């Protein structure tokens, strides 16, 4: 389930029946876990087709917020604003188990557990990875500049972000109930052990060699902690980091989001999907045309392949590519 979907409909529910919408900065005090849990819809059965039915706590840029980023609702989504002014500020950054944003996340997770009552599953919320947290703290342009001017300071920030990710993830996952000695991943499939959904989206800003040298060690540190980790990517990012990720023994699966209406047609990325399936499991999410679905079924090895997709009708495709004002 889309972490942001409910926000696109109404905004963030607040005490008193109000909603925070575009342009509003939210604080932990504005996040009422009971109200959000009551408002979030949950599946009424354990399965949805071949996949497990699940709900994840509303995506509120939890890791970035715990790190210290101001959080703003905008365009039906949630964004983290840069906050780090000088490198001396790094000395004040550290993980705090009493962080109010973390406490809100854990409370919301517990309440959703109670709400599903074992009929379906609560899974990991969206937790952005070290490079994404670093980009949020610095801003995208500054991240790229600082990696060349002050790489050691950026690595120190990446180290802090990695600690925040790991401690937040472990606390969050510790209250998710296991299922048959395993867990349901953030992409609705079962793993026979502990699982985590990592993310390295902002590596798309970097040359592959820079990613390998400065960012990969922190992504790998996270992957080593869990038994069945996977990493979420988009098509452009996967092109940048694919070879480096395939070489990581600890990584069990890659997930590719098909960005529509942007992004290349599926026919152009079939070779990349094949390359993944030679060494890892692959989860594909997004919308495709019937022809693209038939192409994937015809040309991709089904072993290790999960297609968590929906069909894109020609009418929907035309409307998305040629919107009418």
Calculate mean pLDDT across residues 82-104: 96
**Token pair for 128:** 């952005």
DSSP 182: B
- Whether the bond into 261 is cis, omega within 30 of 0: yes
Instruction: Give me the domain span that covers residue 67.
Output: 1-177
Q: Tell me the HSE value of 288 on the side-chain side, using a 13 A CA sphere.
A: 23
Q: Which CATH number do you get for residue 140? A: 3.20.20.210
Q: Average pLDDT, stretch 252-277?
A: 91
Average pLDDT of the chain is 92
Average pLDDT of span 172-179:
94
**Rounded percentage of the chain residues whose pLDDT exceeds 90:** 78
The answer to whether position 54 is within a domain reads: yes
H-helix or E-strand containing 288? strand 281-288
- Residue 281 inside a domain? The answer is no
Instruction: Tell me how far CA of residue 53 lies from CA of 41, 121, 230, 318, in angstroms.
Output: 12, 7, 19, 30
In a domain, 301, yes or no: no
Residue 28 within a domain = yes
Inside any domain, residue 73: yes
> Is residue 34 included in any domain, yes or no?
yes
* Rounded mean pLDDT, 229-237: 88
Q: CA 239 to CA 244: how far, in whole Å?
A: 10
Residues in the chain: 325
Q: How many helices (H) and strands (E) does the chain have?
A: 13, 16
Residue 324: its pLDDT value, please? 55
Please, which pLDDT band fits residue 165 given cuts at 50, 70 and 90? very high
Instruction: Confirm whether 220 is domain-assigned.
Output: no
Token pair 């972000």 in the structure block, residue: 161
Judged against a pLDDT cut of 60, whether residue 4 lies above it is answered with no
| Dihedral sign for Cα atoms in the order 118, 308, 218, 98 | negative
Distance CA 240, CA 62 (A): 26
Rounded Cα distance, 82 and 104, in Å: 22
pTM: 0.93
Domain count, the chain: 1
Residue 279 within a domain: no
Q: What is the pLDDT of residues 65-80, one digit of tens each?
A: 999 999 999 867 899 9
């Amino acid at each position: 389930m889309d972490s942001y979907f409910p926000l696109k409909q109404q905004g963030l529910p607040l005490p008193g029946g109000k909603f925070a919408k575009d342009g509003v900065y939210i604080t932990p005090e504005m996040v009422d876990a009971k109200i959000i849990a009551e408002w979030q819809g949950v599946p009424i059965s354990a399965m949805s087709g071949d996949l497990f039915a699940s709900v994840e706590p509303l995506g509120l840029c939890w890791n970035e917020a715990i790190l210290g980023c101001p959080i703003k609702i905008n365009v039906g989504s949630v964004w983290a604003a840069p906050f780090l002014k000088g490198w001396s500020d790094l000395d004040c950054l550290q993980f705090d188990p009493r962080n109010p944003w973390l406490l809100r996340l854990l409370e919301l997770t517990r309440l959703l557990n109670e709400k599903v009552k074992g009929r379906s599953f609560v899974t990991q919320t969206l937790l952005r990875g070290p490079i994404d947290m670093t980009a949020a703290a610095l801003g995208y342009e500054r991240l790229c500049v600082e990696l060349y001017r002050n790489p050691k300071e950026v690595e120190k920030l990446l180290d802090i972000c990695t600690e925040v990710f790991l401690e937040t993830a472990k606390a969050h996952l510790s209250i998710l109930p296991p299922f048959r000695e395993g867990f349901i991943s953030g992409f609705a499939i079962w793993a026979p052990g502990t699982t985590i959904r990592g993310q390295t989206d902002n590596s798309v800003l970097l040359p592959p060699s820079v990613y390998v040298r400065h960012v990969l060690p922190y992504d790998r540190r996270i992957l080593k902690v869990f038994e069945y980790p996977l990493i979420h990517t988009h098509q452009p990012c996967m092109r940048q980091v694919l070879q480096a990720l395939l070489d990581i023994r600890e990584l069990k699966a890659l997930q590719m989001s098909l960005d529509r209406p942007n992004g290349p047609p599926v026919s152009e990325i079939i070779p990349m999907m094949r390359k993944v399936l030679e060494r890892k499991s692959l989860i594909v999410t997004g919308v495709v045309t019937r022809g693209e679905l038939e192409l994937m079924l015809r040309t991709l090895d089904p072993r290790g392949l999960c297609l968590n997709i929906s069909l894109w009708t020609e009418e929907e495709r035309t409307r998305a590519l040629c919107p009418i004002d």
